[in-house]
């Protein structure tokens, strides 16, 4: 490993964190601007795809970009992704109609999705494994702050300057990130091993399988019935393309997602746990604002404020955990200690439903954040410590890909469960396509109480999923965190 001073490490990570902040911010900043977009561009029926197209492309590119950065260096890939992101942002701001806006958002997502694993992989380039927990926690803080700031900033820009400015603002920030990162990352090492040819066919299989799966999760129960021929065909395509991709990976000399990850006693259970726990976390962030508005009768702005404690708490425990792993060389214990707090808090919310005050419910969410926060830096540290330098990008991409898929899957599952329970208990509401639509309904106190029970059962299901994630974390092998980047034997070698 190239030796970096503390000042150089700070410069490198500042550029990486600014790039990641941009990518994370654009997942939430558009929400307040959606109604004005529909008013100006028309095609209200396509409005959800402004969000979905970004997420689809962002999820698809994460493992590919992670692997390419191992072969060609993080610095060049970060520059490419930032340029793509800025070009996509400008195209969004200039979009003349909804179709072009959706295509521009997909382009923006390619750049933004690539920045996420690259920012995580940079940690492995400049910091020894024993030190990575502290810096991984900083990235958790960036992610949490973007989730809180995004909707507020989007609302202010839309009201004061118009919705195109939620995209124009990315250009000066992106240029700053490009300037900082390119100067700071000049000394990043590039492995000079033989570079195999890029397997375009394998990448296309991965993209086709991922897009098919995400289309099922996005459309199922909303635009298409779960038993519709189109949705079943998409599900079959996801299975076929995913199976072909996995088969090709076992025969590739340098796979995008190395099969040896599946057999590693650290990486495999960590990815499984991360799939569940990150999906549960995002499900809570999606469900609870609606829960506050419908079950506890708060305003939209009050619901937003009540969500701050879970963000803040998860950031605090992520930082504490990062320093713990740096000091002790251990990464497994904090997750096993923290998750029971999150499970218990969700169980209380499930049991009391509408019987909680907004303040108490927000305090319980803070406990959820305290419990889930340690899993974020622990997961990054664990998987990066388990591989050689040649796989830092690939394993970071695998972790980001797994988390994103988990988020898409569990958001769809939890929202579908809540809506299904509401539809069964209150058939007079008719078909409600999205969980957010419940907050727009005119509801009697009795209906609100029924919906609160539906949310309670959904919180119980999320708590159960966290129990399963704790089981996976318990199966993670705890290997000593290395104090330098000395070569290790890669699993399966």
The domain segmentation of the chain, as residue ranges, is 1-187, 200-251, 258-481
Q: CB of 43 within 8 A of CB of 98?
A: yes
Question: In the numeric block, which tokens belong to residue 101?
Answer: 């806006």
Which residues does residue 372 pair with via DSSP β-bridges, in sequence order?
Answer: none
Q: State percent of the chain over pLDDT 90.
A: 18
Write down the number of H helices and E strands in the chain.
19, 0
Q: Do domains 1-187 and 258-481 have the same CATH topology?
A: yes
Residue 31 has pLDDT above 70, yes or no: yes
Question: In the numeric block, which tokens belong to residue 477?
Answer: 């092998």
Query: In sequence order, what DSSP letters do the residues of 192-244 get, joined into one string?
Result: -S--PPP-HHHHHHHHHHHHHHHHHHHHBTTTB-TT-HHHHHHHHHHHHHHHH
pLDDT tens per residue across span 135-157: 777 777 777 777 667 777 777 88
Closest of 19, 163, 32 to residue 101, by C-alpha: 163
Closest of 124, 95, 149, 81 to residue 391, by C-alpha: 124
Stated pTM of the model? 0.83
Indicate the angle between helix axes 267-294 and 375-385, nearest 10 degrees. 160
What is the distance, to the nearest Å, from the Cα of residue 76 to the centroid of all Cα atoms in its chain?
A: 23
CATH fold label, 1-187: Growth Hormone; Chain: A; (1.20.1250)
Q: Would you state the pLDDT for residue 21?
A: 83
Q: Would you state the pLDDT for residue 190?
A: 57
| Other beta carbons within 10 Å of 431 | 10
Burial of residue 445 (number of CB atoms within 10 Å: 0-12, 13-18, 19+): exposed
User: Rounded to an integer, what distance in angstroms lies between the CA atom of residue 434 and that of residue 367?
Assistant: 27
User: Rounded to an integer, what distance in angstroms lies between the CA atom of residue 164 and that of residue 42?
Assistant: 15
Residue 400 has pLDDT above 60, yes or no: yes
Question: In the numeric block, which tokens belong to residue 107?
Answer: 């382009």
In CATH, what number does 258-481 get? 1.20.1250.20
């Amino acid at each position: 490993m190239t030796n970096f001073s503390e000042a150089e490490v700070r410069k490198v990570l500042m550029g990486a964190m600014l790039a990641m902040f941009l990518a994370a911010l654009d997942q939430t900043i558009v929400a307040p601007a959606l109604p004005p977009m529909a008013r100006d561009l028309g095609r209200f029926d396509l409005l959800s795809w402004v969000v979905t197209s970004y997420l689809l492309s962002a999820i698809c590119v994460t493992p590919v970009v992670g692997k390419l950065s191992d072969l060609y260096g993080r610095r060049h890939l970060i520059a490419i992704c930032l340029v793509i992101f800025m070009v996509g942002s400008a195209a969004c701001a200039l979009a003349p109609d909804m179709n072009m806006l959706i295509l521009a958002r997909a382009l923006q997502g390619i750049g933004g999705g690539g920045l996420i694993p690259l920012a995580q992989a940079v940690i492995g380039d400049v910091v020894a494994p024993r030190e990575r927990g502290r810096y991984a926690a900083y990235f958790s803080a960036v992610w949490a702050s973007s989730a809180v700031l995004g909707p507020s900033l989007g609302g202010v820009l839309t009201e004061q300057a118009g919705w195109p400015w939620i995209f124009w603002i990315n250009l000066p920030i992106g240029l700053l990130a490009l300037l900082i990162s390119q100067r700071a990352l000049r000394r990043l090492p590039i492995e000079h091993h033989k570079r195999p040819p890029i397997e375009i066919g394998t990448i296309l299989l991965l993209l086709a399988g991922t897009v098919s799966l995400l289309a099922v999760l996005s459309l199922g129960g909303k635009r298409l019935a779960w038993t519709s021929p189109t949705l079943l065909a998409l599900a079959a395509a996801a299975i076929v393309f995913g199976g072909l991709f996995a088969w090709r990976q076992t025969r590739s000399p340098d796979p995008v997602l190395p099969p040896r990850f599946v057999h590693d006693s650290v990486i495999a259970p960590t990815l499984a746990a991360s799939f569940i726990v990150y999906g549960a976390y995002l499900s809570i962030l999606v469900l609870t604002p609606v829960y506050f508005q419908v079950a506890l009768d708060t305003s939209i702005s009050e619901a937003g404020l009540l969500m701050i404690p879970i963000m803040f708490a998860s950031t605090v425990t992520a930082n504490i955990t990062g320093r713990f792993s740096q000091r002790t060389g251990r990464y497994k214990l904090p997750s096993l200690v923290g998750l029971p707090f999150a499970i218990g808090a969700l169980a209380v919310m499930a049991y009391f439903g509408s019987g909680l005050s907004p303040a108490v419910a927000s305090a319980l969410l803070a406990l959820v954040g305290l419990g889930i926060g340690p899993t974020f830096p622990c997961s990054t540290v664990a998987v990066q410590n388990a591989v050689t330098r040649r796989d830092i990008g690939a394993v970071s991409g695998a972790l980001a890909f797994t988390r994103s898929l988990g988020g898409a899957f569990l958001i769809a599952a939890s929202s579908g469960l809540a809506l299904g329970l509401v539809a069964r208990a209150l058939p007079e509401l008719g078909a409600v396509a999205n969980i957010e639509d419940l907050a727009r309904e005119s509801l009697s106190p009795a209906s609100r109480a029924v919906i609160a029970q539906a949310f309670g059962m959904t919180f119980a299901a999320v708590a159960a999923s966290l129990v399963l994630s704790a089981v996976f974390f318990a199966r993670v092998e705890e290997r000593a965190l290395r104090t330098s980047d000395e070569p290790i034997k890669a699993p399966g070698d």
